[in-house]
Chains A and B, each alone.
Chain A
Amino acid sequence: AQTVTQSQPEMSVQEAETVTLSCTYDTSESNYYLFWYKQPPSRQMILVIRQEAYKQQNATENRFSVNFQKAAKSFSLKISDSQLGDTAMYFCAFMLLSGNTPLVFGKGTRLSVIA
């Protein structure tokens, strides 16, 4: 079974600064996806970024980028130029690359961006 671990329950960052959220996972499979989802106070789940495990290049979406280390089974999220609207819970998630296997979520990291 796959597991996802987020070791930082809470983090804070000053506005305009950079913050990195950690995620590690455990799987014996080699083909999978990794995701970061953002959950603001409205509790909606918003996809931030996705990484295919077969791609060596780290995914980037504007101010969001990942550091994917497949051998170490690590998938951290870097948020650059943090904005107040980035305040949210961030969930790391894993999905096997085979049909409709379910997402497995970590417990989340609560990020507070401070003005």
Chain B
Amino acid sequence: EPEVTQTPSHQVTQMGQEVILRCVPISNHLYFYWYRQILGQKVEFLVSFYNNEISEKSEIFDDQFSVERPDGSNFTLKIRSTKLEDSAMYFCASGLGGNNEKLFFGSGTQLSVL
């Protein structure tokens, strides 16, 4: 069964450093998302991406965050200057859209900011 792949599974970084989290969505999917989950809390929406542009973003997704689909297969989340409170599990998800909506999640990247 096709799956969403995320790398790395764990990322440790120093506060103020830039990190890039990588995702390979399912190949025929059209909609892409990033979510995050701070330990012990609920999953929160960050951003959605369709047709090579951001279609919606949450308040969390401020100027420190950016997304890119550089080569038609990868979907990346960049955090320019990480803060301690960015420590969380980051999930990528993709979906076909339309009336058969079903989101498939990757296994997540655990980001630890020290």
* Residue ranges of A at the interface with B (Cβ–Cβ < 8 Å): 33, 35, 37, 42-47, 50, 91, 93, 95, 97, 99-108
What are 17 inter-chain pairs, A to B, with CB distance below 8 A?
A35-B103, A43-B89, A44-B105, A45-B91, A47-B104, A47-B105, A91-B43, A99-B31, A100-B31, A100-B55, A100-B97, A102-B33, A102-B56, A103-B33, A103-B43, A107-B42, A108-B42
Dominant SS at the A interface? loop
Scan residues 3-44 of chain B and give those whose CB is less than 8 A from a CB of chain A: 31, 33, 35, 37, 41-44
Write the nearest CB–CB distance from A48 to chain B, whole angstroms: 11
Residue from the list B41, B89, B101 in contact with A107, Cβ < 8 A: B41
Give the chain B neighbours of A106 by CB distance below 8 A. 42
- Chain A nearest CB from B82 CB (Å) reads 20
Question: Separation in Å of the B14 CB from the closest CB of chain A?
Answer: 23
Pair A99/B42 contact, Cβ less than 8 Å: no
Query: Residue on B with the closest CB to A108?
Result: B42
Q: Is the CB of B35 within 8 A of A99?
A: no
In the bound complex, residues from chain B placing their C-beta under 8 Å from that of A47 are 102-105
Cβ–Cβ contact B97 & A99, under 8 A:
yes
Interface residues in chain B, defined as those with a beta carbon under 8 Å from any beta carbon in chain A: 31, 33, 35, 37, 41-45, 48, 50, 55-56, 58, 89, 91, 93, 95, 97, 99, 101-108, 110
CB neighbours of A91 from chain B (8 A): 42-43
* Chain A, residue nearest B101 (CB): A33
Q: A44-B108, A101-B56 are in contact. Are A95 and B42 (CB under 8 A)?
A: no
A35 to B43, CA, bound (A): 13
Residues in A neighbouring B42, C-beta threshold 8 A: 91, 105-108
Query: Can you name the residue of chain A whose Cβ is closest to the Cβ of B91?
Result: A45
Return the contact of A104 from the options B31, B41, B45 (Cβ within 8 A): B45
Nearest 7 pairs between A and B by C-beta? Answer: A45-B105, A102-B45, A100-B31, A105-B43, A44-B107, A107-B42, A100-B48
CB distance from A1 to the nearest CB of B (A): 11
A99 closest partner in B (C-beta): B97
- Are A97 and B89 within 8 A (Cβ)? no
